[in-house]
Amino acid sequence: MRHPSHWRLRGGIGALAGALVLSASGFATPAFAVQPSQTGPVSTTPATGTPALTAGPLEFIRELKQCGDTVYAVGTFTSITQDGSVYTRDNVFSFDATAPYTMTAWDPDVNGTVSTIAFDGGNCAEAYIGGSFTSVDGTSVENLAELSTTTGAVNPAFAHTANAQVYTMAVTGSHLLTGGAFTSINGTPRFYYASLNITTGKDDGYLHLDIGGTYEYSGVQHNTTHVYNQQISHGGARVLVEGVFTSVGGKPRQQIFQMFLGSPTATVTDWTSPEFSTHCVTTEPFYIYSAAWSPTDNTVYTVSTGTHPYLWPNTYPLYGDCDAAVAYSANEESVNPEWTNYTGCDSLYSVVADDSAVYVGGHPRWSENPNGCNDEGPGAIPDPGMQGLSPSNGSTLLNSDGTALYTMARANAYDMMITSIGLWIASTNRFGADTCNGVSGLAGICFLPYSS
């Protein structure tokens, strides 16, 4: 299906709707905005002095989370630089959330990739980490652990065994929602997505989803069922979940599903789209890597890889969800895209939103490019790295001279985080990249503050 608009719009930042979203489970999600303390969009000038990946082999920051006055970073790296000093840090570290962004002494020695970190609400004394590792500071663990944020020591009272990689964790109430490639976690057979008690680490029975299935079509690259990413709504009532699956909670679901965090168990809602069951190129069967809620929770934004649709006939404009940022209603029903902004066959991996902009990141070269694939089609806007889009129609946020507002040149922006004072971007140091909007020395992390 081709979408009715293919990007001739420019500028204009629309207001978000303020209606209630009624859950099929009978829960009315309040349409309130979780507002930053300042007005967006964020500045185009990065803060200096933030911690950075060191030069060398390919390394990356996979996820950033703030708890209290501290930002925590996880990924794959062995050292971090700041203001000329080099700090040995093995796949996790933390630093002050405000200037001068001082590195903390927290230094757990994790012997493998850390993909995710989570906290129990405002309790910043302990952190949950997940990934692909077998020890922390010499203590044997298996792909997940709870650590002291003071000493880095493993909490032995929290069970810490998953039989395959953990990709994502998030806390809601007393539940640690944990997704990955595992089929057993802390002694319980549980396939790909589990709810763990935040104190014991044991499965608490909150999730019964029977997740299964892989993406099957002619010539497709081998893919395995897993849960890769998740985002809890601002109001706390729902969560979006991305990964490889075809059935969730007895309902047909591919790429992404929405879950209602009710009681006594969570349930899969009726929110879906025909776009999620289409296919992209055979080498990228899993393509919706991330999603975000609008500040009101009324809209969902997705970003994707995928290059172009499967069996694409090499005609324009492009169609489908491949290599695009897309807006959908969050109403719990089958929905079609409200707008789609194509990069022209370049990947997007991360997305967040405030009232003024939808920020998307990956390695795009252009925005509004439905008439090009790996080249600049008619009407496309050069907009590399990270892009700012209008929440109302997906058009590119522009400078007064018509150029894109953001030209970040981020290398594979894997995660973004909005706080009350600005936007944090996590990325790789691919190709030795260390610049953010022309400012060097920012490999892996870039912070764009709100203007005062």
Q: Are 198 and 125 in contact (CB under 8 A)?
A: no
The pLDDT, as a whole number, for residue 434 is 83
Cis ω for the linkage preceding 317 (within 30 of 0): yes
| pLDDT of the residue at 440 | 86
Q: What is the dihedral of CA 202, 211, 353, 359, to 10 degrees?
A: 110
Res 39: pLDDT: 67
The CA distance from 231 to 253, in Å, is 17
Q: Is the pTM of this model over 0.85?
A: yes
Burial 369-393 (b: 16+ CB within 10 A, else e): bbbbbeeebeebbebbbbbbbbbbb
Contact (Cβ atoms closer than 8 angstroms) between residue 199 and residue 211: no
Q: Given this model, what pLDDT does residue 38 score? A: 59
Tokens in use for 60?
């990356």
Q: How far is CA 114 from CA 59, 238, 301, 433, in A?
A: 12, 25, 26, 21
Distances (CA, A) of 157 to 5, 91, 153, 174, 202: 54, 23, 12, 16, 10
Q: What is the pLDDT along the chain (452 residues), one digit of tens a residue?
A: 333 333 323 333 333 333 333 333 333 333 333 444 456 799 999 999 999 998 677 899 999 999 999 999 999 999 999 999 999 999 999 999 999 999 999 999 999 999 999 999 889 999 999 999 999 999 999 999 999 999 999 999 999 999 999 999 999 999 999 999 999 999 999 999 999 999 999 999 999 999 999 999 999 999 999 999 999 999 999 999 999 999 999 999 999 999 999 999 999 999 999 999 999 999 999 999 999 999 999 999 999 999 999 999 999 999 999 999 999 999 999 999 999 999 999 999 999 999 999 999 999 999 999 999 999 999 999 999 899 999 999 999 999 999 999 988 776 899 999 999 999 999 988 777 788 888 888 899 999 999 86
Integer Cα distance of 325 and 337 in angstroms: 10
What are the structural domains, with CATH classification, of the chain?
21-449 (2.130.10.10)
Task: Identify whether 252 is preceded by a cis peptide bond (ω within 30 of 0).
Answer: no
Sequence-ordered alpha helix ranges (H) in 9-50 = none
Q: How far is CA 196 from CA 135, 202, 203, in A?
A: 20, 5, 4
Query: 109 exposed, middle or buried (CB, 10 Å; 0-12, 13-18, 19+)?
Result: middle
- Rounded Cα–Cα distance for residues 360 and 52 (Å): 21
pLDDT of residue 4: 32
Taking alpha carbons only, the member of 134, 136, 124, 20 closest to residue 69 is 124
- The whole-number pLDDT of residue 408 equals 81
